[in-house]
Chains A and B, each alone.
Chain A
């Protein structure tokens, strides 16, 4: 079982550049989540998908952030243009999803540590 795979593990770039973070969920999982973790705010949900459809994007900070899930095995989180305050660790997680009658545990990737200079 490969787990949730995120890439890159680390990204350092200059402000104004476009940043793309990638996530491959566990095969068969129908729900995918993007989280951001900072020292100041802890873990926050940015957006989540169910069956490739965005369900709740209320946590996306502003229009500079966008997320897509073109198929069940791949999602991207894009920041354009990036700013220093976007520096954080970004986690992707997946779960079997809401078609089950009860809540399911989430499986987290190792995260992408993003630094915007």
Chain B
């Protein structure tokens, strides 16, 4: 089945230690998104790629970076995680005017 895959599902890191979350898709969609979601809140868009074009939300901290080496893969790098960065990170994809499909998410814990 075509899908959006996120690894790992759970990630524990230490305060200030860089961490990378990964997302892959078999849907061949041209748009990939990264969202941050804290408990009982709506997902907050961090950035998205339209093909190779990177679009950063104005309020996304510089601590968050992203890479999309090819259509299938997208990475979220958190350079120096703080306690406030503990959250669920959701990757999603869409194509044209179509529906946005989400991966299972990575739950990040910062110690």
**Co-assembled chains A and B:** no
